[in-house]
Amino acid sequence: DVGIFRRQPFSHKSSRNFPPVQSSIPIYKQTQNGIIKIEKISTIKHHNDPRLWLCNKGFVILVGKNETEQCLCPESYYGDQCQYQNQRVSLTIRLRQENLNKLNVIGIIIRLVDHTGFVHSYEQITYKSVINCNTKYNMHLLYQNRPKDMTKNYTIYIDAYYKINLIYLTSWIFPVKFLFMPVNRMSVQLKIPTKQNCHLLCSDKYLKSLTNDNTQSCRCSNRMNSISTLQNRCNCALDSICVGFKENRSICLCRLNKTGPQCYLNSICQMKNICMNNGICVPHDSRQSLNNFACVCPNGFSGELCEKTDVRIDISFSNVETPQSLLVHFINVVSHRDSSDKTEPIQVTMFKKILFNQKTITFNMSLPFHLVFVEFEHMYYLIVLQHYYTSSAVISTQISPSQRCPHIQEVLDEVKVEYPHLRRVKYYHTICQHRSDLTCFHDNYIFMCLCTEERHANCFHFNFNM
């Protein structure tokens, strides 16, 4: 007889549930009235209309009663049929923040300036580290004239401010090289500092030299006189910042509660008390919609409006030396009934630094999970196993030697450890049967295994390379 073996999905419910879950945290929510809903406008697409191919890189628009065809070109193209490329700087930016405070909202202004101080084009970015951590910002900075003036030197200035109070943070300077090229492509990753000390970078020699390897610079005192004079000529709102002019129009940086080209209009965050639990409301680009916004939630809260209370996990150390940092792996066991395509557990990892003499650390988790492993000094500990996920709960647990998940080299004889992987897995059940005190073990290669109450090995794929 030929036996047919079917792989069973991993289930955590065959192991003992621990620690006990405390009562949920009471939630005090603010009532929401009159939140503006964003509705999508239905459009009819005529796929067979030959006019769709009239414009090379743009869209066809019909003008007047006669519906005359005209091309609406993107900023990087021009011409009657969008057939010509604009000379430009194609810039890609990724931002990183040294300050781990996720409530920080940073305003970024990017300007393409020539050596006379004339601003050819500019862009603005509102950076939210908790939301835009991996976002790449792509933009096209155009020159004022076609073709560009080859006798001038061009520079990209990038300034960073806190959007809540418009306190200046830092600047970056990037000269545009190889002017003979019609399109200059630049890609940079910028680190936003916690605070900037400008004394070393504010010498006249540094400000005049754009070939310095250190491309970070500060808004220095010897330039503040020109900035104050600039503010007197600008028509931005008093509680905003004017950073220059473009075609006799002021370039204004608004606070979070203001919007518009001159920052005189109230944003949706000012008009509606939207975000709950002291969340920070951040309006999206006002050129797209006044109704778009995002809530940056404080620790312990999540959701689109910060209306959900996260699970809080308090971790203490028992007979284990406190490390300087650790990794916490949250495992969500996906039921095979809920997902027919993917039954492997979902792993989410968080990093935590531990202060000196800190005895207890706290994590807040907004995603559902069933298992929690802690990793430090190449050792793993199982600290939470819950059969059913409970939202808004408080879990108090500890890291102790009895919860450590040893490597198979510690619990399996040397001969079997050297077996090929597929042959060695067959003996994982014997580990749980011979060690009644064991709750988990791993091979540091593919599997993390739990010992069930019937003393069988219950294994799942685990990412050991975080």
Integer Cα distance of 459 and 163 in angstroms? 48
Q: Both tokens of residue 62?
A: 């019909």
- Give yes or no: residues 212 and 243 share one domain: yes
Shared domain check, 190 and 109: yes
* Strand blocks (E) in 318-426: 325-332, 346-353, 360-365, 371-376, 379-385, 394-399, 404-405
Structure confidence at residue 364 (pLDDT): 92
User: Token digits for 452?
Assistant: 């069930």
- Would 161 be classed as within a structural domain? yes
Residue 288, Cβ density class (10 Å: 0-12 exposed, 13-18 middle, ≥19 buried): exposed
Question: Within this chain, do residues 212 and 78 fall inside the same structural domain, yes or no?
Answer: no
| Percent over 70 (pLDDT), the chain | 80
Reported pTM? 0.73
CA distance 398 to 396: 7
Phi first, then psi: give them for residue 225, nearest 5 degrees: -65, -45
Tally of domains within the chain: 5
CB contact at 8 A, 370 and 360: no
Domain boundary among 256, 289, 307: 307
Distance CA 458, CA 10 (A): 7
Residues 325 and 383 in one domain: yes
pLDDT tens-place string over residues 282-338: 887 655 454 578 888 998 999 889 999 999 999 999 999 999 999 999 999 987 665
Q: What is the structure's pLDDT at 466? A: 73
Query: Same domain for 141 and 184?
Result: yes
Q: Could you tell me which residues come within 8 angstroms of residue 246 by beta carbon, excluding any fewer than 6 positions away?
A: 119, 121, 122
Domain end among 220, 253, 270? 270
Q: Are residues 265 and 346 in the same domain?
A: no
pLDDT at residue 199, rounded to an integer: 53
Same domain, 176 and 260: yes
Do residues 300 and 430 share a domain?
no
**CATH number, domain containing residue 57:** 2.10.25
Q: Is residue 39 part of a domain?
A: no
- CB-based contacts of 66, cutoff 8 Å, min separation 6: none
Q: Residue 278: give the domain boundaries.
A: 271-307
How confident is the model at residue 343, as a pLDDT? 72
Q: Are residues 191 and 226 in the same domain?
A: yes
Whether 96 maps to a domain, the answer reads yes
Is residue 427 domain-resident? yes
Q: Is residue 12 part of a domain?
A: no
Give the pLDDT confidence score for residue 86 in this predicted structure.
92
The CATH number that applies at residue 383 is 2.60.40
Looking at residue 182, its pLDDT comes to 92
Domain annotation covers residue 21? no
Instruction: Mark the ranges of the chain whose per-residue pLDDT is less than 70.
Output: 1-9, 21-48, 100, 196-232, 285-291, 336-342
129 and 244 in a single domain? The answer is yes
CA atoms within 13 A on the CB side of 458: 21
36, two tokens: 């503006």
Residues 63 and 139 in one domain: no
CA distance 191 to 447: 37
Residue 276 falls within a domain, yes or no? yes
| CATH number of the domain where residue 284 is located | 2.10.25.10
Does residue 321 sit in the same domain as residue 381? Answer: yes
Paired tokens of 275: 């975000």
Structure confidence at residue 37 (pLDDT): 45
The answer to whether residue 29 is domain-embedded is no
Could you tell me the sign of the dihedral formed by the alpha carbons of 412, 413, 418, 424, in that order? negative
